[in-house]
Amino acid sequence: MGAPEFNFGKAEITAFNEAVAAGTFSISADAAEQAKREYDLMITELNKLQRKLDALTRASGFGGFQSAQELQSGFIGKATEGKAVIEKLIDAASQLQVAYLRAGKQLAEADQINADRLKRITDDVQNG
């Protein structure tokens, strides 16, 4: 069961990154750091939500009737889908952090966040 289709602004993020790379958008280092901090807060809250959904993927105690097992399966499926959507939102927020930091010429920090992002994606793929 994969993530449902969810428009999280991928095209807009790509366009933003392209504008930063082309030099048509730039901001001060302070503004870049402030944007990064705001996305840090968002990512922290999304991680909390993801942990709650993770707990729901292990839901039990629905009973032995067929209808109860179907209900349990439905809850687990929705929680799994929710986790996948949250992961996409976390990735989008990380991409925006990188773009804002690059726009503010904070390249080392942007590269570190991007490396962490790519490691998270690789780990997710390897862990299935």
Range name among 48-52, 71-75, 81-85 with the lowest pLDDT average: 71-75
Q: Is residue 2 scored above 60 in pLDDT?
A: no
Q: Which domain holds residue 55?
A: 32-127
Closest by Cα among 13, 7, 9 to 114: 13
77 domain-assigned: yes
pTM as predicted:
0.85
In a domain, 120, yes or no: yes
- Which pLDDT score, from 0 to 100, does residue 43 have? 97
What average pLDDT does range 106-124 have in this prediction? 93
Domain count, the chain: 1
Q: Is residue 41 part of a domain?
A: yes
Looking at every residue in the chain, the average pLDDT score rounds to: 90
Residue 7: inside a domain: no
pLDDT at 113 over 90: yes
CA dihedral 91, 96, 97, 103 (to 10 degrees): 150
Helix axes 66-103, 29-56, angle to 10 degrees: 170
Q: What pLDDT is recorded for position 44? A: 97
